[in-house]
Amino acid sequence: MSEETPRKEYLDATYDMFLGSIMGEKSEYDRFLEWVHDVEDDDAFPFETCRVGAQRPQVSMRRTSGELLDVINMSSYNYLGFGYHPDVIEAAKEALDLYGLGAASSPVHSGGFEVHRKLERTLVDFMGLDGRSASVFSSGYGVNTGVISALMRRRHHIVLDRAAHMSILEGAQLAGSKLHYFEHNDVDQLREILKEIQSKKKRRVLVCTEGVFSADGDFGNLRGIVEAAKEYDAMTLVDEAHSFLVAGENGRGVAEAHGVLEDVDLYVTTFSKALGGVGGAVIASEEMARYINWYAKCRMFSCAIDPAVTAGVTKALELGGSSIGDERRKRVKSNAMKLREMLASDVDLGVSESWIVTVNYGDEERTIPLLDALQRKGLDASVLQFPAVPVGESRIRLFVTSEHTDDQLRKAADIIIAAANEIGFSTRSS
């Protein structure tokens, strides 16, 4: 910003600033609302937008000001476009007619329908994991918090990749187990931690990692991590939320691609990414899945996932296992590669390897003007800033789908590059 331009105070704000109150000062919600209103008064608030239609590659969105913008949609993760596929919608409509709007009970009481059992069987069959069972949750976030807190206790040990999702961390905190962290994908450090744990009195140990890490768009080192865990008799939980149905020859995730699918003890996925719905599941041994059904509190004391979404997700899973899924898996990977090639010479793409293409823009103070500019130029993207990522490492995330066209990819790249030049992060060393 030039010296002549008064600095907007709201540019310094980060998410963690409003998480607690200090005695004698304004409450956290008063301070937060002041900040929101300051940005809205400047007509620059780019968050909490409402879609006017399905999550397609091109969408209309309404900002909190009421302004309607037509944008290329790269902020939602409907990776294979199944969220609006006509067969998926028809399956959901049929289930709505048969079962009604909601489950109206916990899945272990009267909230279980035949459509839920069909989804569980379809998941296990799709994964090719005979002898396993699936436990379905009403949210993907709830899978990690519920499963980890159900299986682990205070005397146990949980070992986390430092880049693991917040749902994994919160599940570990709920369990009350002893927490250990290894640097991202660092198998040697993981082995040192596991060796130290097992040198003491033998306890249950759970190692948690992911297939694709959503902040950086890189792959988990699943082969090395799973092999190290087995070496020290530890269980593994792999969250394939952003890789299920996309990675691997058959869409079974990075675990399939790395050849360790059958060695993963707790395979977690969500229905809100490539399946285009909502909810999630864990695939585990029959004994473990049955136990989780009863002792994952967020499942036991929540309403079961609604039948229409369940049927739609099941149909999307069937499509994902067909030639349609094969074609769309190839296309999403090709689209991501094309977008990276379009951007590579102008911006810093970080370590992204997947269909989550990242663009590093550095300083947190750029977040609001950057996202505001992108939307007004015709692109909606996702941004991460501190404390979600380290200070000075803010980034744009572009969620590429199989349904984006070459023209949309080119336009998105042009918008990113133009914004980078205007706001000042166009060099790779920014």
Return the higher-pLDDT residue of 23 and 200.
Answer: 200
**Mean of pLDDT values over 106-118:** 95
3-state secondary structure of 270: strand
- State in words which class domain 9-74+327-423 has: alpha beta
User: What confidence score (pLDDT) does residue 2 get?
Assistant: 45
Mean pLDDT for all residues in the chain: 93
User: What confidence score (pLDDT) does residue 6 get?
Assistant: 56
Asked if pLDDT for residue 256 goes beyond 70, the answer is yes
Is domain 85-320 annotated with CATH 3.40.640.10?
Answer: yes
**Mean of pLDDT values over 58-69:** 96
Both structure tokens of 53: 């239609």
> What band does 28 get if pLDDT is binned at 50, 70 and 90?
confident
Whether the CA torsion 80, 84, 86, 87 is positive or negative: it is positive
Per-residue pLDDT tens over the stretch 182-207: 999 999 999 999 999 998 877 899 99
Q: Which helix (H) or strand (E) holds 281?
A: strand 280-285
**Mean of pLDDT values over 360-379:** 94
Asked if pLDDT for residue 5 goes beyond 80, the answer is no
Sheet of 356-362: strand order equals 50-51, 58-62, 68-74, 379-384, 394-399, 356-362
Per-residue pLDDT tens over the stretch 314-334: 999 999 999 999 999 999 999
Tell me which residue of 290, 294, 297, 289 sits closest to 265, measured CA to CA: 289
User: What confidence score (pLDDT) does residue 201 get?
Assistant: 76
Asked if pLDDT for residue 179 goes beyond 90, the answer is yes
User: What confidence score (pLDDT) does residue 14 get?
Assistant: 73
Alpha carbons 28 and 60: distance in angstroms, whole number = 33
User: What confidence score (pLDDT) does residue 428 get?
Assistant: 53
Q: What is the pTM of this model?
A: 0.93
Asked if the bond preceding 387 is cis, omega within 30° of 0, the reply is: yes
- What residues contact 336, with CB distance under 8 A and at least 6 apart? 354, 355, 357, 400
For the chain, give every residue range classified as CATH 3.90.1150.10.
9-74+327-423
CA angle, residues 212, 143, 260, in degrees to nearest 5: 45
Q: Which helix (H) or strand (E) holds 287?
A: helix 286-295
**Mean of pLDDT values over 229-253:** 97
**Mean of pLDDT values over 408-422:** 96
Asked if pLDDT for residue 229 goes beyond 60, the answer is yes
Q: How far apart are the first and last CA of the chain?
A: 16
**Mean of pLDDT values over 366-393:** 92
% of the chain with per-residue pLDDT over 70? 95
H-type alpha helices, 42-164: 86-99, 114-127, 140-151
**Mean of pLDDT values over 115-130:** 97
Q: Which residue reads 């803010």 in tokens?
A: 394
Both structure tokens of 72: 């290329």
For the chain, give every residue range classified as CATH 3.40.640.10.
85-320
Least confident of 32-46, 135-149, 240-254: 32-46
Per-residue pLDDT tens over the stretch 270-285: 999 999 999 999 999 9
Are 231 and 191 in contact by the 8 Å Cβ rule? The answer is: yes
Are 408 and 344 in contact by the 8 Å Cβ rule? The answer is: no
Whether the CA torsion 367, 371, 374, 379 is positive or negative: it is positive
**Mean of pLDDT values over 167-178:** 96
Strands 235-239 and 280-285: unpaired
User: What confidence score (pLDDT) does residue 386 get?
Assistant: 85
User: What confidence score (pLDDT) does residue 24 get?
Assistant: 54
Both structure tokens of 291: 């136990």
User: What confidence score (pLDDT) does residue 1 get?
Assistant: 43
Alpha carbons 367 and 391: distance in angstroms, whole number = 13
